[in-house]
């Protein structure tokens, strides 16, 4: 299900993003702006419950603007002191695999901010799930500072070399700024289940 223009955004969105505190400020600014927009549009933010990096900036911004954050974090990260202490709701899982499954389960859409290998792994997994028909919701990449340009070129290479169907470009959309993320969520086309690997015809 996608958000349609003119409808309420009373909605849950999982956001994958970096926990590194050492990245450039413009990435923090974009994460904070996205958090503000999620809150102002009544969108509950789901993420890994972190307090540092873009995740911390996102969470702090959502809460500062009166929004809700559902954090999902494995116990070993809580024990390491990585968790944010002031989220609306925190769910502690036994494993990181359970964490990722829960994040997807509770979400009506997924957003990937810039991040490292953990973010890349989460993004690749949710794209794969949609390709397999296990997740039918919108997926948006926030391409701050052209961060994802090389990855998007790699996706094009996959399609060019027949490792992915051309129709699978519709699995995700790309936003250049946080405001565009909200616009895309409002107007994201419904995913055609006939394009999943188990149902599609050769394209």
Q: Is residue 197 part of a domain?
A: no
Q: Read off the pLDDT of residues 169-191 as tens digits, 9 standing for 90 and up.
A: 999 999 999 999 999 998 888 88
pTM of the predicted structure, to 2 decimals: 0.90
Look-up: residue for tokens 């015809």? Answer: 201
Report the CATH number at residue 136: 3.40.50.450
Q: Is residue 1 part of a domain?
A: no
Total number of domains in the chain:
1
Q: Read off the pLDDT of residues 15-66 as tens digits, 9 standing for 90 and up.
A: 999 988 899 999 999 999 999 999 999 999 999 999 999 999 999 999 999 9
Count CA atoms within 13 Å of residue 140 on its CB side.
Answer: 28
Q: Is residue 129 part of a domain?
A: yes
> Is a pLDDT exceeding 70 seen at residue 147?
yes
Q: Read off the pLDDT of residues 90-112 as tens digits, 9 standing for 90 and up.
A: 999 999 999 999 999 999 999 99
Containing structural domain, residue 101: 11-186
Q: Is residue 194 part of a domain?
A: no
Pick the closest to residue 12 from 41, 40, 46 (CA basis): 46
Q: Is residue 148 part of a domain?
A: yes
């Amino acid at each position: 299900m996608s958000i349609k223009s003119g409808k309420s955004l009373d909605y849950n969105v999982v956001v994958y993003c970096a926990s590194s505190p050492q990245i450039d400020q413009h990435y923090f600014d974009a994460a904070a702006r996205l958090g503000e927009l999620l809150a102002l549009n009544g969108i509950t933010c789901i993420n890994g419950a972190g307090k540092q990096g873009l995740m911390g900036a996102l969470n702090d911004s959502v809460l500062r603007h009166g929004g809700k954050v559902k954090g999902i974090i494995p116990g070993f990260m809580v024990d390491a002191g990585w968790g944010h202490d002031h989220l609306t709701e925190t769910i502690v899982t036994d494993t990181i695999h359970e964490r990722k499954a829960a994040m997807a389960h509770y979400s009506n859409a997924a957003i990937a901010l810039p991040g490292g290998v953990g973010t890349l792994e989460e993004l690749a997994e949710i794209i794969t799930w949609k390709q397999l028909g296990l997740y039918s919701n919108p997926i948006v990449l926030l391409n701050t500072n052209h961060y994802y340009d090389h990855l998007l070129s790699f996706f094009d290479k996959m399609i060019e070399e027949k490792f992915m169907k051309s129709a699978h470009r519709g699995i995700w959309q790309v936003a250049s700024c946080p405001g565009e993320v909200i616009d895309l969520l409002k107007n994201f086309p419904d995913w055609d289940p006939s394009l999943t690997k188990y149902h599609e015809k050769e394209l």
